Structures are given as C-alpha cells and as structure tokens.
C-alpha cells in the first residue's frame, strides 16, 4: 500500500473501528422494505479531486439513495431551468423542520427548500418530460453521471414506498392546492419514489459528492455533469438545509455541505477537496445516520475540514519586489544601471485568484522609489490565472499606465491575454529581461 493510500485508508479504518460499535438509533421502517436493512452495516468512502478512491467496511453494499438523491435532482433542475426559474417554485430557506413536514411558505405555498420532501417533489416535477427524454430517464441518467457508472432501481423498495407513501402524496396534493406544483401530483410523486429507490453504494455517494466538490466535473470520469455555478448553488443549499432540522447544528459543528437519507446514506462535500459517502442504516430521531454523522463529524474535526475554519490562506504570491538594477541580469555600466534603478520588478507565483491578484497589485503600487517609475510584472512562475484575477491585473496595469507609470509584463504563456486584444492590452514579453529592456528603453527615449 502506497503512502497516501495507507494514510487516508487508515484514517477511514480508525473511524470505522471507533464507531462500528455504536448501536444507537433505529432502522427506518415507515417504508417496510427499508426495515430489512442490516443494522450492523457500516461503510465509509472518500474520493479526492484527483479521483483517488479510499474506502473501508461495507462501502460496496448496495442500498437505496432515498433523500440523498435530492441535491442531485435539484442540480439537474438548476442546469435545465436556471436558479431564477427554479426559485419561483422552490425556495432556499432552511425550514428547521422534519424531512416530511408540511414546510410551505405562508401565502404562496412554495416549499421551503429542495432538501425536504415537499421541495424535492416539486423539484422532480420541474424536470422536463418529453417522449424523447422522459423525466425519470433524465433523472436516472443524471444520478448515474454523478456516480460515474450506470445505476438502477431497486424495484422492491420502489413498490414498498409506492404502497405506503401516502404522506408524500398528501404533501403533493396540498402543494397543488396552494399553487406551485406544475404537474399532476400522482405522476410527480411516483417519479420521486423511483428516484429515491435508485440503488447506490457508499463509494457511489462519495463519487457523487466529489463531483459537486469538484465544480460539477466527475473526478473519476472527467464528465462535466453540471455547470460550476450549479454545483456551488447545490452545495450552498446542502450546507444550510441538507440535514433537515439539525442543519444549523451540523454546519456549526461539522461545517460541511451534507445530505442524509432514511436508508442510512450520508454525503458530505469539502469544496475543491473531497467527496465523502457513508452507509449505516441506524438513524437518529431526525432521520440521519448515527454512525455516518459521528464519522464525518470526527473526520472534519481531526483533519480541520470545517468550511469556516480557513485552512487555505494562500501562501506567498509575490516572490520578489526589487528594482531591475538588482537583478543578476542587470548591466554593469553605471549609466544603464541608473536607468535600471527606475524599473521596479514584481514577481508572482502559483495560481492567481482574487486574493492573490490583490496582493500583486498592492505590491506593484508600492514598488519603485516611492511608488513611481516603471514597473515590470513577472508572471513566469504563475501556474494559472482565473478570470477575476486576469481582469483585476489588466485593469490595475491600465490604471498604472494612466497614472504615468510605464508597465510591461513577462508573460510567456499569454496568461493575461484576451481575445480581441488591441493597443490598450498589457505589453507582454517572453522574458523578464525583455520586459525590463522595454521599460529601460522607454525611459531613455
């Protein structure tokens, strides 16, 4: 076993050993078929952003996805219709109520959020249904792409819930009576029952959560399942509403977007870090897996994964602030040295985002004798620039130029370039020496 495999698998095994003996909670029995689950089953799985898979225990035991389907069908609705349209039908407020509560907005009857049954039934109903692409086919396809393999339906669980799901039918009729159900309640609920009966494993759940954490691209298959903004929107609703009436406490203590289901599945996503899936059918009073909750809570605490606990303060972005006469390539001649003295050089490294771009611009403002003279920005060691950072650097350079400071950029990979760049674009060169030479020449001329 390699070092990484050993370290991560060991962490999962420790959690498994720590909580496998906990037998608090009850297996759900209001859907008769779910009562047949093995109360001792316990599986943990984690998938990294590089698609590395780690698991222990019953991570490949199949069970039905139940409410863990809700964020993914919400993602599908958002992808097809957009946030504004979906929000006309389903709100995004934590309800503080149980999963099957009549949690509808006063006045409009709009369900509070897509993570409780009322909101999930409406979300399912929003998925387009056409002869060429029937609603459930689209849902199964979407869940499968999130998991990275073809999923199927547990027909026995479906039949069991269809037989006993009157409360969900009642909810659907109630919603239609107040306005916001765009389709026949019976059809909407039948599709919702089928979606809840899709069979998954803890490893599938980890892949699904990892896809959300990875900005909508499945890290196992490379498939872009939903656009990045949709993945962020879904994680936001999971963070505030994913754990039903204990969502606030979960965000406070565990600090990760999550979603639980009554069959014992639980997902948690560390944005840009990992997806986790757990399976243990013993549920707490709120309908969430007891051992899953304990395991993810402990992992978050041990590895410092709480979202609000900012572990990712960017390392040094600006690696050098100097003047060109101090560079090894500076000429020896006195006259040229003096000209080089007027050229400040700021070098940056790594991936530049908003925070990093702010640091770079601040350093450029300050560089040079009392913040005057020419300034060269060296991007040779920059590995990536996102669209926000590019726009900030371009406008910062333009502002410096407008203030009378000559600027040039060492940007061999054209990271600052934009399509349609004209004369007003930043002056970019292949090397730092060329950028400096241009500024020195400007000064001479």
Q: Which are the catalytic amino acids? A: 67, 70, 192, 244, 262
Using only the alpha carbons of the chain, give its radius of gyration.
27
Nearest partner of 135 among 125, 144, 143, judged by Cα: 125
Closest distance of CB 147 from ligand GLU, Å? 17
177 to 196: interface string for ligand GLU, x by CB under 6 A:
-------------------x
Q: Does 289 bind ligand GLU (CB under 6 A)?
A: no
- Shortest distance in whole angstroms from residue 61 CB to ligand GLU: 17
For residue 200, the SS3 value is strand
56, 168, 240, 349: which one binds ligand GLU (CB under 6 A): 168
**Pairing assessment for the beta strands 282-283 and 26-27 based on DSSP bridges:** antiparallel
Q: How many angstroms separate the CA atoms of 416 and 134, rounded?
A: 45
Here the tokens at position 177 are: 């009576």
CA–CA gap between residue 262 and residue 67 (Å, rounded)? 7
Binding mask 80-119 for ligand GLU (x = CB under 6 A): -------------------xx----------------x--
Closest approach of Cβ 320 to ligand GLU, in Å?
55
Nearest approach, Cβ of residue 97 and ligand GLU (Å): 12
Rounded CA gap, 276 and 367, in Å? 45
Binding of ligand GLU by 261 (CB under 6 A): yes
Compute the distance between CA of residue 263 and CA of residue 239 in angstroms, rounded to an integer: 20
Q: Report 398-427 residues binding ligand GLU (CB under 6 A).
A: none
Does position 287 bind ligand GLU by CB under 6 A? yes
CB of 199 to ligand GLU, least distance (A): 14
Contacts of 252 (CB under 8 A, 6+ apart): none
Q: Which is nearer to ligand GLU, 68 or 416 (CB)?
A: 68
Q: Which of 75, 262, 324, 364 binds ligand GLU (CB under 6 A)?
A: 262
Q: Contact, 181 vs 46, CB < 8 A? A: no
Neighbours of 370 (CB within 10 A): 6
User: Binder to ligand GLU among 33, 48, 56, 66 (CB under 6 A)?
Assistant: 66
Q: Is 191 within 8 Å of 139 (Cβ atoms)?
A: yes
Instruction: Note the residues at the interface with ligand GLU (CB under 6 A).
Output: 66-67, 99-100, 117, 161, 168, 196, 261-262, 287
């Amino acid at each position: 076993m390699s070092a990484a495999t050993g370290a991560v698998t060991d962490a999962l095994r420790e959690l498994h050993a720590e909580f496998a003996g906990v037998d608090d909670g009850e297996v759900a029995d209001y859907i008769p078929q779910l009562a047949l689950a093995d109360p001792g089953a316990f599986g943990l799985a984690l998938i990294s952003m590089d698609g590395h898979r780690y698991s222990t225990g019953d991570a490949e035991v199949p069970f039905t996805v139940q409410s863990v389907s809700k964020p993914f069908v919400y993602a599908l609705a958002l992808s097809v219709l957009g946030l504004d349209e979906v929000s006309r039908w389903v709100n995004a407020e934590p309800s503080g109520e149980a999963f099957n509560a009549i949690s509808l907005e006063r006045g409009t009857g709009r369900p509070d959020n897509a993570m409780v049954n009322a909101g999930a039934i409406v979300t399912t109903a929003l998925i387009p249904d056409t002869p060429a692409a029937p609603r459930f086919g689209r849902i199964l396809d979407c869940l499968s792409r999130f998991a990275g393999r073809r999923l199927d339906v547990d027909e026995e669980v479906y039949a069991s819930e269809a037989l006993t799901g009157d409360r969900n039918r009642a909810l659907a009729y109630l919603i239609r009576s107040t306005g916001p159900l765009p389709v026949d309640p019976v059809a909407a609920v039948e599709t919702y029952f089928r979606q809840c009966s899709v069979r998954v494993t803890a490893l599938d759940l980890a892949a699904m959560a990892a896809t959300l954490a990875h900005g909508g691209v499945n890290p196992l298959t490379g498939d872009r399942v939903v656009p990045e903004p949709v993945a962020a929107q879904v994680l936001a609703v999971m963070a505030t509403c994913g754990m039903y009436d204990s969502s606030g406490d979960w965000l406070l203590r565990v600090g990760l977007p999550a979603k639980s289901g009554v069959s014992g599945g639980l997902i948690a996503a560390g944005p840009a870090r990992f997806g986790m899936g757990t399976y243990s059918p013993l549920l707490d009073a709120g309908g969430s897996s007891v051992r899953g909750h304990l395991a993810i809570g402990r992992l978050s605490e041990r590895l410092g994964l709480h979202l609000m606990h900012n572990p990712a303060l960017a390392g040094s972005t600006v690696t050098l602030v100097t003047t060109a006469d101090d560079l090894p390539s500076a000429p020896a001649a006195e006259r040229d040295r003096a000209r080089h003295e007027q050229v400040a050089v700021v070098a940056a490294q790594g991936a530049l985002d908003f925070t990093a771009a702010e640091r770079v611009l601040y350093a450029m403002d300050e560089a040079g004798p009392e913040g005057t003279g020419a300034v060269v920005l060296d991007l040779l060691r920059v590995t990536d620039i996102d669209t926000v950072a590019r726009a900030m650097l371009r406008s910062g350079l333009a502002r410096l130029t407008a203030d009378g400071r000559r600027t040039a950029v060492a940007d061999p990979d054209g990271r600052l370039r934009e399509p349609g760049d004209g004369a007003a674009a930043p002056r970019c060169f292949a090397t730092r020496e060329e950028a400096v030479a241009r500024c020195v020449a400007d000064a001479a001329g």
